[in-house]
Chains A and B, each alone.
Chain A
């Protein structure tokens, strides 16, 4: 068998079998009982050459509408943002992407230091005291925050706002089920968490209150009030925050959050049909020894040279085994690196400007939709998403928009029957005035 990934020659094979003292490769598999031995050949597609496979997969890719060829107004947790060209250059360096977890620090200082910088940047944006090296995504990160809170408070109930992304809420529920924790939904009023209902629902069995910032409807929640209510009852305040919005929004750490989680996808990470993205997990110092996943810490060698290591590993599954409070092992290291490069490129000024541009473009879009007679629900505290009454089923509207080169907003009837004909429209800095106007014009044309 000759293949470009397999350097074994016939001579190699002969020499190696001789050294081992067997006459065939089959002998090495003699420990597999006859009854379970697979004797045929996998019934899968035959191998393809590089050229023809590229062609075939290129044809499959071409069947998908994508945000490079279309103007995308679809957000709802995954966004089309500015991706500095250098991000892909850095993560394409194979010293990074072909490495394993940095368990041997002497030859993994690059990865370890990059993660240490990632942890620092996440702390800066969220206002939290420490952050881990990444989680799978924002949804599972929120779910782990919930189970952490239940373990920490020894309580078995989570209150989750209805304004948290529905898929994240579903993941929170699955993780909570695993540990017999109840999840109760706090209703929303006018697109934000209903504070009066929260006050009624919270009790001394509540481990944490989970909200999103900005929330699923693009609204900015009053975190301080929510955190205060949580703390009055001995519960933790958990916030899932869009880190890009934190360029302009007060960090959750300054508004009482005990745990801030989210997804760093807005920083240089492609949509990729939903993954891989990059969860982050940041906490106040008192929770340091309960953080799931890997942490990188600074130290030095015997000559006083600064270096970085994986630390506080007594928390982790490979040490704690069945006493572990999280089973996470692989994380999203390469995407944390991508996010670090994007955060670095944006820098202190760019992060403010990009967040501001999102607000400005969204404000323009709001005014344009309203002027054309399409109601924008909720508000006024919009970050980069609007709930717009398009006055027709969104599926039909989006079909028309597609013909104009536009990927329309998210059909909210899929998650809330009362929001039939409403779309959640994301307007990032990537959308031009022209594209926004075209969206509005097409809506007008549909109703002309």
Chain B
């Protein structure tokens, strides 16, 4: 094994060590074979680690030191809204009166939790301009699918069974077409025009009596506001289709424009983005869906409502698409979002959007001389540069991203959206200071210079991380997806 390898927890294991403290057994011992039949009693142990409590803490502390989070440093990952995760959220989510509540307790014993659900629904309804909100979906993609299933149910209820197509712009998040597919639709791609916006003419060509919905992110993944939104809404509604809003970029428009006022029929939000979830290394998220009154009859059940001064779970929703998740969604995550919204208030949320957009435009203008900027109008909360100038000099966007690691930054999103060559998608968020932005800008400028003068340093980056670029081809060709004690695959690879 290479001397610099970080041990796996299994490699620290030693028979005879324990890391647990179970309650004392205060009932008589039992003979398990008198309760279970022989075939279902386990004969071979699960090889879990045998380590002490300190071993565990040292191991995970070492792992955490090999991980970059927002609290570690700047994280301008476009489309992901990597803003600060407030600590009060973490404290509130751990209150025993929230964390230790079982979802199947009697309604009368969970009034406080249901009040959070109800009040958050009301807040999100106001923020999105959609009258009805469900908190059941567990993440953004789950929300997309939930809303599409509601739209499908709506069309079916109207006998409109020929509406099999969902339109998606070429700049859309990958989840959009994937959600359309798993909701039983065929996807039709709509082109972008030279301004980076949906091509209205192409949209008109592609809508028809088979259109179920258009899925749109606004501002789109280029960080640009779809100025023709009202015309687009008219086109889609004109043929009887519905308009779906991907709320991944809501941080750009809070208090400036509401999906409901733009003509959208359904909206999903990513509470782990705009509303400080946090991201957790990939989840858990929370993906509430807001809809018009027309679609509300199809919401997942149960629906949380207020009747007089009680909060109730209403299962009597005859046209509901059913359950999309056990219980009531990722309560612990949307509780954090609720805490955040209550910490910000209406003025705070407005400032969030204004500063997020100001920060993005500032960075864009300062970087414009050094990188290609395919779309030059004001951006919203994020912008997309192209690394094609640097690519010609021998350093790809991937190389520049890796070089940023040496400066202690998490790189921007790269190679997305797909309609920009060598894309570099930067989203600073409002929680970063001007000094942080300036330092990052200086690093980007320096890297651009390095590409001109000394491209090797960029091509071979990173130089300072705990590990270099990893062989991803090997990982995919000969997948090793778990640790195996006997013949550690590592022994084969390290000469």
B327 touching A178, Cβ below 8 Å: no
Residues of B within 8 A of A170 (CB): 322-323
Rounded to whole Å, the gap between the CB of B169 and the closest CB of chain A is: 12
A174 touching B149, Cβ below 8 Å: yes
**What is the bound-complex CA distance between A297 and B490, given in angstroms?**
12
Selected from A1, A96, A276, the residue in CB contact (under 8 A) with B330 is A276
Residues of B within 8 A of A364 (CB): 27-28, 30
The winner among A54, A299, A354 for most chain B CB atoms within 10 A is A299
Q: From DSSP, what is the main secondary structure of chain B's interface residues?
A: loop
The winner among A36, A44, A88, A317 for most chain B CB atoms within 10 A is A36
Residues of A within 8 A of B21 (CB): 84
A16 touching B42, Cβ below 8 Å: no
B112 touching A305, Cβ below 8 Å: no
- In the complex, whether A239 has a CB less than 8 A from a CB of chain B is no
A106 touching B227, Cβ below 8 Å: no
Residues of A within 8 A of B83 (CB): 5
**What is the bound-complex CA distance between A28 and B1, given in angstroms?**
55
A interface footprint on B86-109 (CB within 8 Å = 1, 0 otherwise): 101011111111111111111001
- In the complex, whether B22 has a CB less than 8 A from a CB of chain A is yes
Interface size of A as a range: 35 or more
**What is the bound-complex CA distance between A197 and B8, given in angstroms?**
47
**What is the bound-complex CA distance between A313 and B30, given in angstroms?**
47
B346 touching A107, Cβ below 8 Å: no
A331 touching B282, Cβ below 8 Å: yes
User: How many residues on the B side are at the interface (Cβ–Cβ under 8 A)?
Assistant: 214
| Chain A, 252-277, CB within 8 A of any chain B CB | 254-255, 270-276
- In the complex, whether A57 has a CB less than 8 A from a CB of chain B is yes
- In the complex, whether B159 has a CB less than 8 A from a CB of chain A is no
Rounded to whole Å, the gap between the CB of B381 and the closest CB of chain A is: 10
A45 touching B345, Cβ below 8 Å: yes
B35 touching A45, Cβ below 8 Å: no
A interface footprint on B30-57 (CB within 8 Å = 1, 0 otherwise): 1010111101111111111111010011
**What is the bound-complex CA distance between A276 and B45, given in angstroms?**
29
- In the complex, whether A64 has a CB less than 8 A from a CB of chain B is yes
User: With contacts A44-B341, A64-B101, A250-B43 known, is A117 near B284, CB below 8 A?
Assistant: no
A99 touching B68, Cβ below 8 Å: yes
- In the complex, whether A236 has a CB less than 8 A from a CB of chain B is no
| Closest residue on chain A to residue B406 by CB atoms | A106
- In the complex, whether A177 has a CB less than 8 A from a CB of chain B is yes
Residues of A within 8 A of B98 (CB): 61, 64, 272-273
Residues of B within 8 A of A131 (CB): 481-482
**What is the bound-complex CA distance between A288 and B86, given in angstroms?**
38
A304 touching B2, Cβ below 8 Å: yes
A interface footprint on B53-83 (CB within 8 Å = 1, 0 otherwise): 1001101111111111111100101001011
Rounded to whole Å, the gap between the CB of B125 and the closest CB of chain A is: 10
**What is the bound-complex CA distance between A199 and B116, given in angstroms?**
47
B475 touching A298, Cβ below 8 Å: yes
B interface footprint on A123-148 (CB within 8 Å = 1, 0 otherwise): 11100001101101111100000010
Selected from B32, B116, B139, the residue in CB contact (under 8 A) with A248 is B32
B482 touching A116, Cβ below 8 Å: yes
Selected from A30, A68, A345, the residue in CB contact (under 8 A) with B56 is A345
- In the complex, whether B4 has a CB less than 8 A from a CB of chain A is yes
Selected from B30, B97, B182, B262, the residue in CB contact (under 8 A) with A36 is B262
B482 touching A123, Cβ below 8 Å: yes
Other 16 A-B pairs with CB < 8 A, given A47-B343, A105-B470, A272-B331: A31-B225, A60-B112, A61-B97, A89-B57, A98-B72, A99-B279, A222-B37, A298-B490, A306-B6, A309-B475, A324-B174, A324-B178, A331-B282, A347-B20, A361-B27, A381-B36
